[in-house]
Amino acid sequence: MSAHTMHGRMRGLSLIEVMIALLIGMILLIALIQVFSASRTAYQTSEGMARVQENARFAMDYLQRDLRMAGHFGCVNDQAHLLTPGALVNHFNASAGFPVSVRGYDATGSAPGETVSLATPAAGWSPTLPTAFDALGAVPGSDIIELRYLSSQGVPVNTISYPTPATTRIVVDADRWDALTSDGVANPTAFGIADCSFADLFPATGVNAATGTVTLSGTIDRYTPQPAGQTMLYRAESLVYYVAPGASGGRSLWRARADNSGSYAAGQEELVEGIESLQFIYGLDRVTAVDTTAPSGYIDDYKSASGMTNTAEQWRRVGTVQVGMLASSPNPAASAQAVTGREVMGVAFTVPAGDTHFRSTYETTVALRNRLYGN
C-alpha cells in the first residue's frame, strides 16, 4: 500500500465539522439545562404549596380546638355561671384575667380595608397589650387572641377538707391524675373545681400528683362531693395565640400558657412555622343587656378587637370567631411571587421586594360552642 493511500485514510474531522458538532452539543446541553431548571422550579413551587397547606392545616386545627373550648367551666359554661351572682368565683389575681373567656387584640393598621406591610408593619395593638404579654416577643402586623377555660377532662373529687382556717385541700384519685396533664402539661398549677351549680378558679399553692392532692389558700366550702362524682377538678387554661419569630428565623405561630401567677414567660411553645399573620373578627350576640340577660344565640354583629368597648360584658357576647391567617413557604421559590394581592379578612398584605416565598391565605369561622344558643 502506498504512503499516499495511508495518508488519505488517516484524515480527521475538519474545523467546520468540529464547530458544527460543538454547536449541536451546546444546543442539547442548553435544552437539558432548561428542562432541569423548569423541573426544579415546578418542584419548588409544588413543595412550597404543599408545605403552606400543611402548616396552615395544623395551625387552624390548634386554633379551632382551643377556640371551641373557650367558656367551658365544668358542668355548665361561664355564661350560665355569670348570670347567677356568686356562682363563679375567681381566686386568681386580676392580672390572670379570669373569668373573661375570650379577648382579642387588634394589630395597629390591620382593620378590614387597611394594608399591612410585612417588611415594616405598624407597631402596637388595640386595646393595649397587658404587661404579662411583654415576654412573648409578638411581631406587629398580627392580631393576638387570649382564651380561658377549664380543660375538657376532669377528675371526680373524693374529699374537700380544711387543714387550717385559711387552707383548702382537695383530694382526687391519684390513678386518674393523668387527665389533668394532657396536652403536654406535666405539672399543672392552675385549677378549677366545679359542679352544676358553682365553679371556683384558683392557683394552687401545693400539688402532689402521687397522692392526688391539691392545696390552695382560702376556703372553698360550698361543695359537697357526691358519690356520682358531680364535683370535678379540672386544669384551668389561660392561653395566648400570637405570631413571633421561630427557630428557623421566619415567623411562626406560637402559643403561650400562663402559670398560676398569670405569667406567660415560661409557657411559650412554637407550634407551626411559616404563619406570618393572624386576623380575627368577633361575632357578637344581638342582646345588649349584657349584665343580666342570657345570650339569645343569634349573632348579628361582627367587630374587630379595636371596635369593641373592651369590657368584660361585651367580650361575653362573643359567640363566633372568624379566623384568617397568612401562611408562607419555609424556603424561597425559584420563580417570582406577586408583591400584592394577598388578603386576609379584608386586610391586604404587601411583601418585601424580591421575596420569592410562596404565600396563601386561609379563613374559617369557629363557633364557641359554650357560648351559642344560651347554652
Rounded distance between C-alpha atoms, residue 215 and residue 230, angstroms: 20
Is residue 268 one of the residues assigned to a domain? yes
- Please give the pLDDT value at position 151: 93
Quick: pLDDT tens for 241-264: 999 999 988 899 999 998 888 889
**Residue 96, SS3 per DSSP:** helix
Of 294, 253, 20, 290, nearest to 145 by C-alpha is 253
Rounded distance between C-alpha atoms, residue 314 and residue 108, angstroms: 21
pLDDT at 340 over 90: no
Is residue 20 one of the residues assigned to a domain? no
Amino acid identity of 269? E
- Please give the pLDDT value at position 224: 67
Strand ranges (E), 65-188: 88-90, 102-107, 115-117, 125-126, 144-161, 167-172
Task: Give the CA radius of gyration of the chain.
Answer: 30
Q: Position of cell 391524675? A: 177
Is residue 277 one of the residues assigned to a domain? yes
From 56-65, 211-220, 351-360, the region with the lowest mean pLDDT: 351-360
Is residue 39 one of the residues assigned to a domain? no
Contact between 283 and 320 (Cβ < 8 Å): yes
Residue 309: count of CB within 10 angstroms of its CB: 10
Is residue 164 one of the residues assigned to a domain? yes
Is residue 21 one of the residues assigned to a domain? no
Quick: pLDDT tens for 283-300: 988 765 554 566 777 888
Is residue 26 one of the residues assigned to a domain? no
Quick: pLDDT tens for 127-148: 999 998 998 999 999 999 999 9
Is residue 40 one of the residues assigned to a domain? no
Q: Integer distance in angstroms from the first to the last C-alpha of the chain?
A: 111
Rounded distance between C-alpha atoms, residue 375 and residue 362, angstroms: 29
pLDDT at 375 over 70: no
The most confident of the ranges 37-41, 226-230, 324-328 is 324-328
Domain that holds residue 130: 50-374
Task: Kindly report the average pLDDT of the chain as a whole number.
Answer: 85
Strand partners, 156: 232
pLDDT at 354 over 60: yes
| Bridge-based pairing state of the strands 125-126 and 102-107 | antiparallel
Rounded distance between C-alpha atoms, residue 148 and residue 363, angstroms: 23
Strand ranges (E), 230-346: 232-245, 251-257, 268-273, 275-285, 299-303, 318-332, 342-344
Quick: pLDDT tens for 66-89: 999 998 888 878 777 777 777 888
- Please give the pLDDT value at position 86: 78
Confidence grade of residue 196 (pLDDT, cut at 50, 70, 90): confident
Contact between 219 and 229 (Cβ < 8 Å): no
Rounded distance between C-alpha atoms, residue 229 and residue 226, angstroms: 5
Rounded distance between C-alpha atoms, residue 129 and residue 356, angstroms: 33
- The dihedral region occupied by 274, where left means phi > 0, alpha psi between -120 and 50, and beta the remainder, is left
Total domains, the chain:
1
Tell me which of 356 and 321 has the higher pLDDT. 321
pLDDT at 165 over 90: no
